[in-house]
Amino acid sequence: MHDLVQYITSYLDSDQTPGAAGNIFWALVYVLLVFVGLSIAVICMNWLERKILAHMQVRLGPMRVGPHGLLQPIADALKLLLKEDIIPAGADKIVFWIAPFIVVLAAFTVFVVVPFGPTHAITDMNIGVLFMLGVSSLAVLGIVTAGWASNSHYPLMGALRSSAQMVSYEVAMGLAVVSAIMMTSLSEQGGTLSMIGIVQSQQQQGIWFLFKFFPLGIIAFGIFAIAMVAETNRAPFDLPEAESELTAGFHTEYSGFRWSLFFLAEYSAMIAVSSIAVTLWLGGWLRPFPNLLNGPTWDLAFSLIPGLTFLFLAGMCFYNTARMPKHPLFRIQTIGLAGFGLVLGLIGLILFVPAVRVRVNDIFWFSAKVAGFMYLYIWYRGTFPRYRFDQLMKVGWKVLLPVGLTLLILTAVVGMRTELWAQMQEVLHR
């Protein structure tokens, strides 16, 4: 019994992730946490996307279920679970059944290596980035099989489009990633593919890779940012599910629970690729200006931000509670909103406890950066029309690929300029 406790507590002092420290108990806890957290994040995203999009489009969005539609995602989830699960007559039943699970599996497995903090990850893999790219590319298998198994024209066309799109944008994505990985080799501990190693390398070099070798880092990030939207089939690259052309693309024939799996997978894939971008270019869990604004005062100030954020959200809730119509019909909603604010405020207060504050700070900054990307996704959707298929391919192969290749060479040259210069001197002197 004592051994067990020691086994469990030994991790808490470790400076490694549970997977790397070989602590299976904590690894499982983290798996659970990540899974639950991801599901909650997807639910929040569902609500936020509808609300933000609605406010961009001068309307209110969901308002009926719960205060400000806060319970709408739960109602949606319930509806989807209770809906009849239709399998078309001509469909290949087994494949039709498996396909959504492949997509979900691919989207969720990626989070094994996502570093929410130096010790907050399920595991730290030697080949973290490679693993992430590889596993997220498996989603295309699910999409292709879903389209094929539906035995219908529109899904098949959606699946073919989608696979072509994802395969071609993976190339540009890979090139951008490689240029970031090349930047890691400039730090003292040498180059690395590990997600945690990449962030540590940014910390050690004292610069986010976004600003490294200006403007090379920013261009690489731009390529990745475009490719990741295409990779997740979101607007303006949402051709596979182009509503006006292919009704719903590869998941036209899906309904109910299986459809909700696709939905879940889409949003977790969005979070996953955003996490890659955050890790590679935006300093992962590092707070803003860790080198410029250092010292205990700044550390304290920045570590208070998570709690303050939650208190601000709680304040918003209370403000809206006060603005609720004073009518018996709205009583439950008012109480609900106040309760929600109370929960948020409590979380905020807990985040001020020093022990929690220190541990959660990393996760907060990482999530905040990812949330920024999520907002970007919604913003794109509200603003852009949709690309046509050939134009999409043109952007992928004729713009992003050459730019990525040039960038790769330039990054290598700039990164090795001292060595190259030395060699040139040697040649000249000879």
Partner 1 sequence: MTDPKTLSPLDLETPDKTFLDANELVINMGPQHPATHGVLRVILRLDGEKVLGLECVIGYLHRGVEKIAENRTYTMFNPYVDRMDYVAAVSNGLGYCEAVEKLLSVEAPPRAQYIRVILTELNRIASHQLWLGTHALDIGAITPLFYTFRDREEILKIFEKYCGARLTTHAFRIGGLQYEAYEGFEKDVKNFVSFVRPKIDEYEELLTTNRIWLERTKGVGVISGKDCIALGVTGPVLRASGVKWDIRKAQPYANYKNFDFEIPTGENGDTYDRYLVRMVEMRQSLRIIEQAVEGIPEGPIMAKVPKVMKPPMGEVYHSIEAPKGELGYFIVSDGSTQPYRLRVRPPSFVNLQALDVMCRGQLVADVIAVIGTLDIVLGEVDR
Partner 2 sequence: MNPVTVNPPVATPFFFYGLAAVMIIGGILVITRKNAVHSALALITTLLAQAALYLMLYAPFVAGVQIILYAGGIMVLFLFVIMLISIERQEKERPFNKQWLVGIVAAGALGGLLIFVYTTTTKGAVLFPEGRVSYVESQNTQGIAALLFDSTTGMYMFAFEIASLLLLVAIIGAVVMAKKRI
Interface residues with partner 1 (CB under 8 A)? Answer: 53, 56-59, 153, 160, 235-236, 238-239, 242-245, 247, 381-391
Count residues near partner 2 (CB under 8 A).
29
Applying CB under 8 A, among 29, 44, 53, 141 the residue interacting with partner 2 is: 141
58 binds, among partner 2, partner 1, none (CB under 5 to 8 A by kind): partner 1
CB of 238 to partner 1, least distance (A): 7
**Contact window for partner 2 (CB under 8 A) among 54-62, 73-81, 128-136, 415-423:** 128-136
**Contact window for partner 2 (CB under 8 A) among 59-67, 187-195, 298-306, 418-426:** 187-195
For position 272 contacting partner 2 by CB under 8 A, the verdict is no
For position 186 contacting partner 2 by CB under 8 A, the verdict is no
Rounded to 5°, the CA angle 279-281-285 comes to 40
Please report the sign of the dihedral spanned by the C-alpha atoms of residue 8, residue 14, residue 17, residue 19. Answer: negative
For position 133 contacting partner 2 by CB under 8 A, the verdict is yes
Q: Which amino acid is at 114?
A: V
CB of 311 to partner 1, least distance (A): 33
Token digits for 43?
Answer: 């639910």
Shorter beta-carbon distance to partner 1: residue 6 or 244? 244
141 binds, among partner 1, partner 2, none (CB under 5 to 8 A by kind): partner 2
Residues between 35 and 94 that touch partner 2 (CB under 8 A): 92, 94
Calpha distance 136→106 (Å, rounded): 6
**Contact window for partner 2 (CB under 8 A) among 72-80, 148-156, 316-324, 422-430:** 148-156
For position 413 contacting partner 2 by CB under 8 A, the verdict is no
For position 145 contacting partner 2 by CB under 8 A, the verdict is yes
95 binds, among partner 1, partner 2, none (CB under 5 to 8 A by kind): partner 2
CB of 95 to partner 2, least distance (A): 6
Shorter beta-carbon distance to partner 1: residue 56 or 80? 56
Footprint of partner 2 (CB under 8 A): 92, 94-95, 98, 125-127, 130-131, 133-135, 137-138, 140-141, 144-145, 148-149, 156, 159-160, 163, 167, 170, 190-191, 193
